[in-house]
């Protein structure tokens, strides 16, 4: 989907591959690889491409559609399991272009695999669901014939969880993007590799254990967000006027602030105002930098 989106946006803009490459300061061969799925842009190039076309990274990756069902993909696989009480969900996957974790009104866990490029997705991917007392283990495995590279280029995983039965969620794996949507949980923890993440209508304690340079978009979030990184440079987008407290722990870490794309003074809450605030953004780890950037109201729902 990423490859198709880059090509479609380039053509809509009336640009040749050479012209796009020149504007992004990359080689034409790099653009060719991106458009054929032979390569994936790194986070800096994802940001540059999205900015050039005037869209978000999520739109570029194909995650902005309001219809999040797998319909429309050429190849799909669906696995469902009934839940009868509150559970902790442990979810593991072995590579994907996009992973979406979404709360639902159903009483079922629903795991959807979708791809436009992996024709035998039902054969090369296996979904295993184990119900162990108060815990549900969901494991999306790659079988022989599907490399992690191919999975990260063309596999979309959507896990819909029954909101009324969600206690905690632990997610582990490697993906280009992660979207968490319509979910209230005591704790949501991600561990792995990632380039972009969106929190949309999410509340609770969210922990990100990732040493990649991240682009984090808080479309609608309330709670505590812990960004745990080693030697990383990440950016977090938050709606203009959203109240939050920022905290820095660890060695050699710093939080910077940005308004309208330019560096600015600290606009987080302090003292008594911070004590009454429901949203906390905390940077932990070592030698990492987090830039908190405001997004104009209307571009990002508050």
| In a domain? residue 260 | no
Q: Which helix (H) or strand (E) holds 167?
A: strand 166-193
| In a domain? residue 177 | no
CATH number of the domain to which 9 belongs: 1.10.260.40
Distance CA 120, CA 75 (A): 7
| In a domain? residue 116 | no
| Beta carbons of 57 and 50 less than 8 angstroms apart | yes
Query: How many CB atoms lie under 10 A from the CB of residue 44?
Result: 13
| In a domain? residue 215 | no
User: What is the domain extent for residue 27?
Assistant: 2-55
Query: What's CA 296's distance to the chain center, in Å?
Result: 20
| Domains of the chain: total | 1
| In a domain? residue 6 | yes
- Predicted confidence at residue 7, as pLDDT, reads 83
| In a domain? residue 34 | yes
Query: How many CB atoms lie under 10 A from the CB of residue 117?
Result: 17
- Predicted confidence at residue 106, as pLDDT, reads 94
- Predicted confidence at residue 212, as pLDDT, reads 96
DSSP 120-143: THHHHEEEEEEEETTEEEEEEEE-
Q: Which helix (H) or strand (E) holds 171?
A: strand 166-193
| In a domain? residue 150 | no
Tokens found for residue 275: 């004590």
What SS3 state is found at 150?
helix
- Predicted confidence at residue 13, as pLDDT, reads 78
| In a domain? residue 222 | no
| pLDDT tens for the chain, residues 1 to 302 | 688 889 888 877 778 888 899 899 999 888 888 887 767 888 888 888 988 888 877 778 865 443 334 444 567 889 999 998 999 999 999 899 899 999 999 999 999 999 888 888 889 999 999 999 899 999 999 998 899 988 988 899 999 999 999 999 999 999 999 999 999 999 999 999 999 999 999 999 999 999 999 999 998 999 999 999 999 999 999 988 999 999 999 999 999 999 988 999 999 999 899 989 999 999 999 999 999 999 754 433 33
């Amino acid at each position: 989907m990423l490859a198709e989106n880059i090509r479609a946006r380039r053509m809509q803009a009336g640009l040749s591959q050479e012209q796009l490459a020149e504007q992004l300061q990359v080689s034409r061969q790099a653009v060719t690889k991106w458009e054929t799925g032979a390569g994936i842009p790194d986070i800096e190039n994802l940001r540059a491409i999205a900015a050039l076309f005037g869209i978000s990274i999520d739109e570029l990756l194909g995650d902005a559609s309001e219809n999040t069902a797998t319909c429309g993909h050429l190849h799909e696989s669906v696995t469902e399991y009934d839940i009868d009480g509150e559970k902790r969900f442990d979810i593991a996957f072995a590579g994907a272009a996009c992973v979406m974790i979404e709360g639902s009104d159903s009483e079922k866990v629903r795991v959807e695999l979708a791809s436009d490029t992996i024709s035998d997705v039902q054969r090369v991917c296996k979904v295993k669901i184990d119900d162990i007392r108060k815990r549900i283990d969901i494991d999306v495995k790659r079988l022989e014939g599907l490399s992690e590279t191919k999975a990260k280029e063309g596999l979309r995983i959507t896990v819909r969880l029954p909101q009324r039965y969600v206690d905690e969620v632990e997610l582990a794996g490697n993906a280009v993007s992660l979207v968490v949507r319509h979910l209230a949980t005591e704790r949501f923890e991600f561990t792995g590799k990632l380039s972009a993440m969106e929190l949309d209508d999410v509340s609770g304690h969210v922990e990100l254990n990732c040493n990649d340079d991240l682009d984090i978009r808080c479309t609608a979030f309330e709670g505590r967000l812990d960004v745990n990184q080693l030697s990383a440079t990440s950016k977090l987008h938050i709606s203009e006027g959203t109240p939050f407290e920022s905290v820095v722990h660890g060695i050699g870490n710093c939080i910077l602030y940005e308004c309208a794309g330019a560096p600015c003074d600290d606009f987080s809450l302090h003292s008594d105002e911070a004590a009454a605030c429901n949203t906390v953004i905390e940077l932990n780890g070592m030698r990492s930098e987090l830039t908190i950037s405001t997004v104009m109201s209307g571009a990002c729902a508050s």
